[in-house]
Amino acid sequence: MGKRIYGPYTHRRGWRVVVIDADGKRSAQVCESYEEAHELVQALDADQEADPGVRIGTALDRYLAFKAYKGNKAASIVTTKYRLMSFFADLLWQPLRRLDRETCQRLYDRLVATTAVDTHRNSLSEVKTFLFWCIRYRYLALNPADRILAVGKRQHGKPQLRIDEARSWMRVAKQLANEGFTGAVASMMALLMGMRTSEILHCVARDVDDHGRLLWIPASKTRSGRRVLEIPPVLRPFLLRLAADRRPLERLFPHRREWLYQWVHRICDRAGTPLICTHSLRGLHATLAIDAGITPPAVASALGHASVRATLVSYADASTVAHARQRRVVATLGRRTRRERVPLGKNAGKRPPIASTEHQAAARK
């Protein structure tokens, strides 16, 4: 590795630029202003144009390879690559050490103007993690994106169908499933079992167990997602038929994520309901379960969540949670205590006699 230049970054009341030569010898110079320090970096860069150092694109490739070596799932690595590429798309050939805070802020402002809040906030978080990794491997001395503040309020949860709309949706889905369309079966699994899209698409024949009563989910997005679900009676004949026609490790639905998304939309079109995504059906499952009286921890466990907060904030409808809480309060206050219960026996249903004043005075004596 050749000569490396880091900075400028704050140092007491000035700005410091650090230079590490090819032999590993370190030297530093402090400037009074950021502009002066930046000019110093440009001058030092001009002295070593023949050795630009690690480029941003090269660092990205090494970072993604590190993720794969660590054991991250392929889908997670693809998402990471998409977020980083959307941020650094125009700078892949630029030396990583020339990346400064003004450039990072400009790139983030561009994302803010062109993408949704969740998208640009997730990208910024991924960029900060990537640049911290670069510091760990001594490609950088500091993180130029560390002080960038994320803007906008995240959106929790997806728009959900109303109960009558969900019933219409289910009628159409069952009709299509009876006609032999496996996409309708997979879509109903999202609503009736609260499964993630990845969990549905990675189901294999041997996961359908106990004569179609249980479905094993051995691998999921999180450790809490590994669970065993009870298959609703309406889905059992369809899943048993799919499993019978396949080898034990053969997938029930050998398709991509877009396939299931399109099937959910197709059912919405036929049922005349608003268009929703697959993840919305999972949220509707949580809403209906809590409305039916299932406790939030039990719903969170069924959905594969590590905490109840994720279920209540991002999945179950807030009004449903409030209604369920209100019903429990009313039921508790309306429950009769032992003293209020009418005694059973010969005098059941009769009011006890009222003692006279003389009897009360004699009892006190």
Average pLDDT over residues 150-154: 86
Provide the mean pLDDT of the chain: 80
Average pLDDT over residues 159-172: 89
**Cα→Cα distances 278→79, 259, 265, 346, Å:** 18, 11, 9, 62
Which of 47-56, 245-254, 299-308 bottoms out in mean pLDDT, i.e. has the lowest? 299-308
- Would 336 be classed as within a structural domain? no
Residue 206 vs residue 287, higher pLDDT: 206
Q: Beta-carbon neighbour count of residue 350 at 10 Å?
A: 9
- Would 285 be classed as within a structural domain? yes
pLDDT of residue 160: 83
pLDDT of residue 261: 93
| Length of the chain measured in residues | 365
Is this prediction's pTM over 0.85?
no
Both 17 and 108 in a single domain?
yes
Judge whether residue 313 has pLDDT over 90. Answer: no
Which of 52-56, 223-227, 342-346 bottoms out in mean pLDDT, i.e. has the lowest? 342-346
- Would 86 be classed as within a structural domain? yes
Judge whether residue 280 has pLDDT over 60. Answer: yes
Distance in angstroms (rounded) separating the CA atoms of residues 118 and 223: 24
Both 46 and 119 in a single domain?
yes
Both 131 and 169 in a single domain?
no
Residue 223 vs residue 162, higher pLDDT: 162
Average pLDDT over residues 54-71: 90
For the chain, percent of residues with pLDDT exceeding 70: 73
265 by Cβ neighbours in 10 Å (0-12 / 13-18 / 19+) ranks as middle
Residue 90 vs residue 5, higher pLDDT: 90
Q: Beta-carbon neighbour count of residue 273 at 10 Å?
A: 18
pLDDT of residue 109: 94
Both 119 and 180 in a single domain?
no
Range of the structural domain that residue 18 is part of = 4-136
pLDDT of residue 162: 86
pLDDT tier, 216 (very low <50, low <70, confident <90, very high otherwise): very high
Average pLDDT over residues 331-352: 56
Both 115 and 191 in a single domain?
no
Both 184 and 253 in a single domain?
yes
pLDDT tier, 265 (very low <50, low <70, confident <90, very high otherwise): very high
- Would 25 be classed as within a structural domain? yes
Report for 2-11, 133-142, 216-225, 235-244: range of highest mean pLDDT: 235-244
pLDDT tier, 345 (very low <50, low <70, confident <90, very high otherwise): low
DSSP-based three-state secondary structure for 230 = strand
- Would 345 be classed as within a structural domain? no
For 220, residues 6+ apart whose C-beta sits below 8 A from its C-beta are 196, 198, 199, 226, 227, 304
Both 132 and 169 in a single domain?
no
Asked whether the bond before 159 is cis by omega within 30 degrees of 0, the reply is no
Distance in angstroms (rounded) separating the CA atoms of residues 316 and 66: 36
For 81, residues 6+ apart whose C-beta sits below 8 A from its C-beta are 60, 64
Residue 213 vs residue 343, higher pLDDT: 213
Nearest to 2 by CA among 58, 47, 35, 34: 47
- Would 35 be classed as within a structural domain? yes
Nearest to 217 by CA among 209, 151, 225: 225
Both 59 and 196 in a single domain?
no
Nearest to 165 by CA among 29, 78, 15, 287: 287
Distance in angstroms (rounded) separating the CA atoms of residues 311 and 289: 11
- Would 308 be classed as within a structural domain? yes
Q: Beta-carbon neighbour count of residue 8 at 10 Å?
A: 27
Which of 7-16, 52-61, 297-306, 314-323 bottoms out in mean pLDDT, i.e. has the lowest? 314-323
Both 130 and 238 in a single domain?
no
pLDDT of residue 73: 81
pLDDT of residue 293: 62
Both 173 and 123 in a single domain?
no
Both 124 and 16 in a single domain?
yes
pLDDT tier, 105 (very low <50, low <70, confident <90, very high otherwise): very high
pLDDT of residue 50: 46
Joined together, the tokens standing for residue 259 give 């396939």
Average pLDDT over residues 275-294: 79
CB 326 within 8 A of CB 301: no
Both 124 and 183 in a single domain?
no
Indicate the angle between helix axes 163-178 and 182-193, nearest 10 degrees: 150
Q: What is the count of structural domains for the chain?
A: 2
For the chain, percent of residues with pLDDT exceeding 90: 37
Distance in angstroms (rounded) separating the CA atoms of residues 292 and 316: 12
- Would 18 be classed as within a structural domain? yes
pLDDT of residue 325: 57
Q: Look up the CATH number of the domain holding residue 319.
A: 1.10.443.10
User: Residue with structure tokens 């590993």?
Assistant: 24
